[in-house]
Chain A
Amino acid sequence: MAVATARVEAQAVPRRRARARRAPMVVFLTVLLVILVLPALLAPWLAPHHPLEGQLAEKLKPPVWLTGGSWQYPLGTDPLGRDILSRLIFGARVSLSVSLVAIFIGGILGTVLGLFAGYFGGWTDSLIMRAVDIAFSLPTILLGLVLAVVIGPSFRTVIVIVAFLLWARYARQVRGEVLSVKERDFVAQARIAGCSHLRIMFGHILPNVVNTLIVLATLQVGYVILLEGTLSFLGVGIPPPTPAWGLMVATGRALIVSAWWVSFFPGLAILVTVLTLNLLGDWLRDRLDPKLRQV
């Protein structure tokens, strides 16, 4: 017994230490996230130049620390003479709004379907889960390409594509949890008390899966930003003059030999944003919902 306790303690100590070490990390990440979100909110006041109007005479100026660069354009200019920093700041708006709206729509759709599948079981369940299987076996990006060609690239198209690609994940996760939650006593009691099915699903079961939903949504923001970037890079995301990060990387692709900064900085912006969100999501998952470890 004593040996067992000693072993447990020996294991517990480094873990506690690890948790303590992570606390400042979370503060740091939150600060970083604020630094990333603020420009998106305050873009018109923060950006030094207009994101769409360039001076052709100033095209392809290098960043300030290279010869030929100036503080007027701290990160240089693109082939149309537009300020890259200003476009990055406005691009943050595009990326964040696309992901939040798409996750919101896809999340609601998936959650509702997952609730129905898990709660009613039977053929409702089979039907919805088959649809989930189908959604998972479709080649995502390729389907996005086809969809974009069908409905024409626009802000709305990107959101439809991404939401369409996301819902299945939520449906599967929620269904799995509903299966176990619905066996709990309070559900049976609610039923005896005469609650309707809808009320049990949304009033009693849904609050029990909210944690999972929050964690899943956080972990997906980064993924969706990457997805939006990929679609924009392939030319089927946000249509041109709009400053979308993926599009900016695509613009600079052919210029990588002469003007690397055109595609380097927007990609770096994606990397930092997604990394921050992934780390925060990881932390949130450990805190709120360790069940999701494998996600």
Chain B
Amino acid sequence: MQRYLAQRVLQGAVTLLVISLIIFLLARLSGDPLQIMLSEEATKEDYAIAAQHWGLDRPLTQQYLTFLGNASRGDFGRSIRLGRPALELVWERLPATLKLAGASIAVSLLIAIPIGVLSAVRRDTALDYGGKVIALLGQSMPSFWLGIVLIWVFAVMLGWLPASGTGGPQHFVLPAIALGWFQVAAVMRLVRSAMLDVLDSEYVKLARIKGVAERAVVWKHCLRNAAIPPLTYIGFIVAVLLTGSLVIETVFAWPGIGLLAIDAVRYRDFPVVQTVVLLYAAKFVVINLLVDVAYVYVDPRIRFQR
């Protein structure tokens, strides 16, 4: 058990190291940031001074090792464009992105769980197919387009909700739907298949024989047991959501990490790009690790095999 965990942690660390190398090389290959920063009249000397100041004149391997050393102390460099520590910039934007992710998970679950449960209970009926259509629609829609259409209908035509920016809870509605609908299909499928398994089990039959009301059987006895697979899937959703938020934050001018990252790529702001990519990757590695640990913890069969 402990050996297994140690092994997984080590694997995660190696993964992060390789990713940091990939992103470092990619960022360096993407062109000279000085060309964007310096004015057109800048002389060769200006370039040399600036390159020295930012450490861009040193060999690549040395630049990478410096980057790693600093990163391990929590120093991800300064944004070339804004002149502030990259980590600080990302940290500032994190709450907006997390809040949006939370809201869109809520939207996905609110749509997916009832649909999943009902389509399992009323299998092969119109309700089942209708639920599938709603879920599949979300999976087939480009989220950026859904965002634009939602703005068009609810902000421009009806004037019910704000079109962009942050503020009160009403600002969350449209971006959360645009971001969350995509996940509905996957969650619904998991809930549906888990429910079908549970509905067939002995203790559900016993509950029915005992005369428990059908509603309680479905929504209490079954759903509680069927909730485990979708819950473990939430970790994966969080990972996907943070990527999806790149697009949605652009559409809704949402001041989160996604918008920051896209601007950083456009301006070749290496330190910010590196920080965001590493943060995303680290989050993914940590979530996977937690899910594995949770499995071991929840399922004694895995625990004893190790």
Contacts and interface: CB of A to CB of B under 8 A. Distances in A.
B145 A263 contact: yes
Contacts of B277: 138-139, 142-143, 146
B1 to A, nearest CB: 21
Contact of B148 (A18, A249, A270): A249
A253 B148 contact: yes
B178 to A, nearest CB: 12
B83 to A, nearest CB: 21
Interface stretch (B26-34, B87-95, B100-108, B212-220): B26-34
A271 B148 CA distance: 14
A188 B277 CA distance: 45
B243 interface: yes
A15 B145 contact: no
How would you classify the secondary structure of chain A's contact residues: helix, strand, loop or mixed?
helix
Interface string A137-176: 1111111011101100000000000000000000000000
Contacts of A294: 189
A222 B220 CA distance: 37
B232 interface: no
A149 B148 contact: no
Interface stretch (B38-46, B70-78, B149-157): B149-157
A264 B151 CA distance: 12
Contact of B15 (A137, A263, A271, A278): A137
A233 to B, nearest CB: 5
A271 B145 contact: yes
A233 B247 contact: yes
B30 A267 contact: no
A24 interface: no
Given A15-B124, A279-B136, A139 B280 contact: yes
B281 A230 contact: no
Interface stretch (A36-44, A72-80, A97-105, A128-136): A128-136
Interface in A252-295: 252-253, 256-257, 260, 263-264, 266-267, 270-271, 274-275, 278-279, 293-294
Contacts of B193: 293
Interface in B16-71: 18-19, 22-23, 26-27, 29-31
7 contacts: A138-B281, A142-B273, A146-B30, A233-B144, A256-B152, A256-B156, A271-B140
Interface of A: 14-15, 17-18, 130, 133-134, 136-143, 145-147, 149-150, 222, 226, 229-230, 233-234, 246, 249-250, 252-253, 256-257, 260, 263-264, 266-267, 270-271, 274-275, 278-279, 293-294
